[in-house]
Each structure stands twice: as C-alpha cells, then as structure tokens.
C-alpha cells in the first residue's frame, strides 16, 4: 500500500511523529509530500519543544499567520542569537518609554505622548519614524505605563491621571486616579487595576456608565511598582517597593479586595518588583531590583517559587516577556542588556548588549515570531531574527 492511499489525517498523524531532519528530507521527495510536510499539524510537536514558535504550553498558537515550518526555522536563530540589530528611533532626552505590540502596530510612549507606528516596511514607507499614524496625548507629565484592549488604550501617568482612549475614534476620557504617579496599570475583561507611588492600588471599570469611578482602594503601605490581573480576573498581584515591612508580592481578591496570599518570604529590603506576567491562572513570573526572575506556581506553594534565574551581572531586571512556553526575555538596568532564557536551563541562552553607555536600562520588551523590540532611555531597538547577521571580522 502506498503512503498516499492512507486517509489524509492518518498521514498527518504519522508525519507528526517524525523529527525535524526526517521531515525536511521527506519534503524533498516529491511535490505531494512537500505540500503535506508544509502543514502546521505536522510541525506542532516539534514546535512545542522549541523557543518562540508561537505554540504555547497550553497548545495555543500565537502567530497563526506564518507557516509553522518557517517559525521552526526562525526559532533556530533565536536559540543561536543570530539576528540583526537596528535602531528604529532615537530621541534626545532620557525617557522611561513603554511599549505594546498589536500585530503589525507598535505603540511607544515617549514623555507625555503615545505614538502608534506601522511595523511593516511597505506601509511605513521605509523609515520607522515616518510610519507614525496616530498619537494619544493628554497627560501633563510622562506616561508611566499603558495597556491595550481590543477597544481601548489605557494610560497611566506621572500626573496621577488615567486616560482611557477609544482606539476606533478620537474619544478619550481622563480622570485623576491617584494623588501621586500612577506607576502601573493592567486591564482585562473590562476591569482596570492601577498602582501608585501613593501606596495604594485601585480598581476601576471600563463599563461606560461607571467610567472613572473607583470601585475599591487597597492600601498597600508601600509604593506600588507593578500590577497584574490574573487571566480569570478573580485576583490580582501587586509588586511593591519592599521598603516598608510588607512583603513585595501580594495577591488580592478583586471582588472583596482582601489579601489572599503573599508570595515568597525573606526578601531583602529594597527588593522591589518591577514586572509581573501571568502565564496561566496559577503560574506567574516576576522580576525586579533583586536581580532574579522567579516562577511561581500557586497550586504548588506560595511561600517558595518553583524556579528562579539569576541575572549574572548583578543588575536589576526592569522588564521581561515570554512566549507562553519555554522562552523568557529579560531587560536589565545596565548597558541595555537583553537576555534570552530557556526555562529548562538555569544559565541564560543568549545575551545582547544594545548600548555601550553604562546606565541604560531596558525599560520594556516586546516580541513576535521574528522580531524583538527593546525600549531604552533614548532609543528604540529592534532585533530581527530573520535577517542575515552582519558579517563579523576575523
């Protein structure tokens, strides 16, 4: 019986057990097999084991527009650190920029404004800086952070304000949310959480008739640097400065606003938490001033993290991102150092130093299948993992 007499789905199933090399060889046998081996279904198992292919631990697919076979190839460049660095944008004064990525649009905050840029070169007419097509303004001081939802862009400012911009029209709505800087903000399913230097976290809603009305105020007794809503929005985490007696990572109930639990113990004074990412309702990553990335699994234990990775240069970690599977990308406080970590290994996989100036933290990182974007104090960089790396002199 020939291979092709099998029903398609059986053939796909068989092919999905092959390794990378065999699939590549098979794809060269004939046109028919070439087409069969191009299908995403055949590559899923392989892709799930590699970094940043878009296949998440839960089996989701983040980058459906690109063939999985191609993503497996690009993934090899991520592992090997093979990429081309480019400065997309430079500015004169030092700022604390923040980024969000939505398909082919990058949102970048610079001082009090947030610009939206097209990433694809044809629409951007060549230069990145010419591709800005929208501007979101209204803050009197710098934007600290902002989040995107399908319908809104919500920004938190040094002026104590939160501004809710409608992404479809020009409508925006602003209100004073805190008595000092709003350092951080998150929004999911119409619920907004903000955290401030004024030592409180507050809960708000996006529902039109209650816009700008505070639902709850939580006293954290310590400056709040980061917040994250859990995917089920039943709880949220605050990351605080760790300058007072309370521990820096606390989980709160969004309905009753009671403390649910504290993560970890024995944090050093000043071990403030700067970034928090939920990967599932029970699993989250945190990083900050104490130079560690920590992975918490709330089903296992809240007193101890299940894994941790230490920044080898003893510098604070300002931000991180993940691919929802094995990859973590971290940004540190000196020389614009960006590191790629594979969660299965304790040592970092790749390191990139983006600038030679000492005090140049990486404030924000975003990634897609092919690119990594890093916002530093005075420039926006991109690393392109599909471009030929510049030839090194021997």
Please give the residue ranges that form the binding site for ligand NAG (CB under 6 A): 63, 65-66, 73-74, 77, 82, 103-104, 119-120, 368-371, 386, 388-389
Collect all residues with Cβ–Cβ distance below 8 Å to 346 and sequence separation of at least 6.
309
Give the DSSP letter string of 178-231: -SS-EEEEEEETTEEEEEETTSEEEEEE--GGGTT---EEEE-SS-EEEEEE-T
Cβ-based nearer residue to ligand NAG, 326 or 366 = 366
Is 121 exposed, middle or buried (CB count within 10 Å of its CB: 0-12, 13-18, 19+)?
Answer: exposed
CA-nearest of 237, 215, 216 to 288 is 237
| Least distance (Å) between residue 287 CB and ligand NAG | 24
Stated length of the chain: 394
- Taking CB atoms, the residue at the shortest distance from ligand NAG is 386
CB of 180 to ligand NAG, least distance (A): 36
> Closest distance between ligand NAG and the C-beta of residue 335, in Å?
23
Q: Which is nearer to ligand NAG, 63 or 267 (CB)?
A: 63
φ, ψ of residue 65 in degrees (nearest 5): -70, -15
Which one, 21 or 256, has the nearer CB to ligand NAG?
21
Indicate the residue among 90 and 103 with the shorter CB distance to ligand NAG: 103
Q: How far is the CB of 384 from ligand NAG (least distance, A)?
A: 7
Q: How far is the CB of 75 from ligand NAG (least distance, A)?
A: 9
- Nearest approach, Cβ of residue 65 and ligand NAG (Å): 6
Q: How far is the CB of 371 from ligand NAG (least distance, A)?
A: 4
Count Cβ neighbours within 10 Å for each residue of 247-276 and write b for 16 or more, e otherwise. bbbbbbebeebeebeebbeebeeebbbbbb
Q: How far is the CB of 388 from ligand NAG (least distance, A)?
A: 4
Contact 347, 325 (CB under 8 A): no
| CB nearer to ligand NAG: pick between 74 and 328 | 74
Contact 278/297 with Cβ under 8 angstroms? no
Residue 4: helix, strand or coil by DSSP? Answer: helix
Closer CB to ligand NAG, 161 or 371, in the complex: 371
Q: CB nearer to ligand NAG: give 73 or 132.
A: 73
| Non-local CB neighbours of 74 within 8 Å, separated by 6+ positions | 52, 369, 370, 385, 386
Q: CB of 156 within 8 A of CB of 143?
A: yes
Nearest CB to ligand NAG, comparing residues 80 and 261? 80
* Residue whose CB is less far from ligand NAG, 159 or 323: 323
- Supply the DSSP string of 58-101, one letter for each residue: TS-BS-TTS-HHHHHHHHHHHHHT--EEEEEEE-SS----EEEE
Is 315 within 8 Å of 334 (Cβ atoms)? yes
For the CB of residue 44, give the shortest distance to ligand NAG in the complex, in Å.
Answer: 17
Question: What are the two backbone dihedrals, phi and then psi, of residue 296, each rounded to the nearest 5 degrees?
Answer: -110, 140
Residue with tokens 């799930």: 48
């Amino acid at each position: 019986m020939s291979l092709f007499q099998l029903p398609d789905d059986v053939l796909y199933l068989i092919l999905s057990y092959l390794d990378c090399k065999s699939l590549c060889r098979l794809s060269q046998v004939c046109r028919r097999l070439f087409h069969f081996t191009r299908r995403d279904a055949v590559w899923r198992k392989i892709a799930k084991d590699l970094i940043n292919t878009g296949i998440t631990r839960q089996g989701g697919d983040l980058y459906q527009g690109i063939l999985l076979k191609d993503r497996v190839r690009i993934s090899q460049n991520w592992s090997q650190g093979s990429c081309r660095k480019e400065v997309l944008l430079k500015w004169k004064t030092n700022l604390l920029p923040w980024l969000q990525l939505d398909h082919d649009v990058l949102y970048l905050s610079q001082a009090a404004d947030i610009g939206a840029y097209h990433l694809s070169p044809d629409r951007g007419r060549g230069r990145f800086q010419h591709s800005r097509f929208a501007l979101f303004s209204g803050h009197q001081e710098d934007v600290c952070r902002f989040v995107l939802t399908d319908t809104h862009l919500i920004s938190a400012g040094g002026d104590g304000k939160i501004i809710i911009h409608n992404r479809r029209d020009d409508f925006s709505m602003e209100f004073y949310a805190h008595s000092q800087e709003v350092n951080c903000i998150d929004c999911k399913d119409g619920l907004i959480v903000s955290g401030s230097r004024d030592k409180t976290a507050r809960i708000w809603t996006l529902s039109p008739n209650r816009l700008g009305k505070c639902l709850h105020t939580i006293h954290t007794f310590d400056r709040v640097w980061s917040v994250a809503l859990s995917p089920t929005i039943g709880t949220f985490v605050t990351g605080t400065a760790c300058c007072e007696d309370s521990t820096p990572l606390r989980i709160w109930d969004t309905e009753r606003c009671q403390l649910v639990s504290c993560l970890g113990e024995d944090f050093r004074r000043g071990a403030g938490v700067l970034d928090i990412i939920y990967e599932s309702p029970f699993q989250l990553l945190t990083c900050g001033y104490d130079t560690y990335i920590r992975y918490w699994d709330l089903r296992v234990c809240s007193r101890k993290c299940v894994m941790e990775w230490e920044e080898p240069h003893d510098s604070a970690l300002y931000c991180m991102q993940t691919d929802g599977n094995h990859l973590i990308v971290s940004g540190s406080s000196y020389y614009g150092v960006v590191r790629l970590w594979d969660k299965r290994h304790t040592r970092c996989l790749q390191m990139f130093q983006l600038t030679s100036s000492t005090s140049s933290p990486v404030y924000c990182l975003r990634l897609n299948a092919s690119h990594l974007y890093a916002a530093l104090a005075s420039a926006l960089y991109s690393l392109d993992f599909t471009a030929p790396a510049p030839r090194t002199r021997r």
